[in-house]
Amino acid sequence: MEKINKYFIIFILLLFPILSVKAEQIPIVSSKNIIMYNLNDNKVIYEKSADEKVNIASLTKIMTAIVAIENIRDFDEKVLITGKMLENLSYDLSKAGFKQGEIVTYNDLLYGVLLKSGADATNILAISISGSIEEFVKLMNNKAKELEMNNSSFSNTIGIEGDNHYSSARDISKLLKYAIKNKKFMEVFKTKNYISTNKEHEMNGPLKYLTSKEEMNMNYIKGAKTGYTSKAGLCLASIASYNNVNYLLVTIGANYENKKQHMEDSKNIYEYFFNNYEYKKIISKNDKIVTLETVYGKKYEIKSEETYKSYLNKSVEKSDLIYEYKGKKKLDKNIIKNEKVGTYYIKYGDDILYKKDIISPEDVKFDLIFFIKENIILVSLFILFTILEIICIFRIVKK
């Protein structure tokens, strides 16, 4: 019997960790560095080693493209491709296919950068805009400082690995969040395929593959940039929209054994949130927040002025939330109208979902009318007693 009890206890101890694991978790993915934003709230909803300095391969070209866009006056301006622009491009780099002596537009080059991930396109842009790749790279590093990409350094326009060329998933998310605000960048970034002005180059971008029903079937993706080197692994920076929620996702360092791994990782992460999260109403307009009372006994019911929804796991109930007021509940005579007296919070675990300053609705001072209304019985008795006393005094005086 003791032996049976011993095995039973061991079984329970082994089972307990399994029972304590959350029923729904982020799927296991190959990517080593990840960050995901809910752009509606401008809030990180998932991250994994997001600040680690890593190789970023062709995600570099997001920086190349936005710096170029901000330094081009006319996107239809023609550029003559010289031999210098195509120097030192090794055979293993991805290229858009531009040739020496060819005349293209800046528009063509931008599509070559973001759709074809062309190393030739990045260098042509850099030299035509800044006179040299080195000068253009200075612009890239200046932009990184401006965007507070504190874990980033650029030494080339392509994404070639080097001692001074690195970034992080968080920094790439900062860069992409900035870039998608630019109308021209978004025009190129969301394009599936493009034919150059001279009809010599047809370019299919990653978006065409990602949204294809026959391939990844991720029709919620609205723009994407891929990358790969042996050290960076497979990378994907993308934006998506689903059920009126906009997302941004950066994945770096997926295993190359499966050439689709970065796409499959992104698909799994996106669809986990699509299936398991939604906006839930956590407070309604006119909901009571707190009752304030003055030292003179006057009370004010403070109510919510808005209905607010928060992005939460579908399994979260209102009873799981913490509704908390921190501040004064009794207001002294020094409090003036519109003075902050406290803060109201709605929390889920350690996360603050909603925060609102509570202010005094008016100056705190003695209010005779309010005092009479609140103490009508005492006041009435006092008045009655006073009248009787006056009558008695009057009679005594008369007598």
Per-residue pLDDT, 385:
77
Per-residue pLDDT, 130:
97
- pLDDT tens, position by position, 333-356: 788 989 999 999 999 999 999 999
Query: pTM of this prediction?
Result: 0.83
Class of domain 33-277: alpha beta
Q: Mean pLDDT, the chain, as a whole number?
A: 90
Architecture of domain 284-359: Sandwich (2.60)
Per-residue pLDDT, 90:
86
Per-residue pLDDT, 398:
72
Per-residue pLDDT, 375:
58
* pLDDT over 90 at 219, yes or no: yes
In the chain, domain spans? 33-277, 284-359, 368-398
What type of residue is 40? N
* pLDDT over 80 at 309, yes or no: yes
Cα–Cα distance for residue pair 235/266, rounded to 1 Å: 10
Per-residue pLDDT, 1:
45
Count CB atoms within 10 A of the CB of residue 333.
12
Of 351, 289, 362, 283, nearest in space to 326 by CA: 289
For the four alpha carbons of 184, 189, 190 and 191, in that order, the dihedral sign comes to positive
For residues 340 and 358, is the Cβ–Cβ distance under 8 A?
yes
Mean pLDDT, range 245-254, rounded to an integer: 98
Per-residue pLDDT, 367:
53
* pLDDT over 90 at 175, yes or no: yes
* pLDDT over 90 at 233, yes or no: yes
- pLDDT tens, position by position, 293-303: 888 888 889 99
* pLDDT over 50 at 10, yes or no: no
Q: Is residue 313 classed exposed, middle or buried when 0-12, 13-18 and 19+ CB atoms within 10 A define those classes?
A: middle
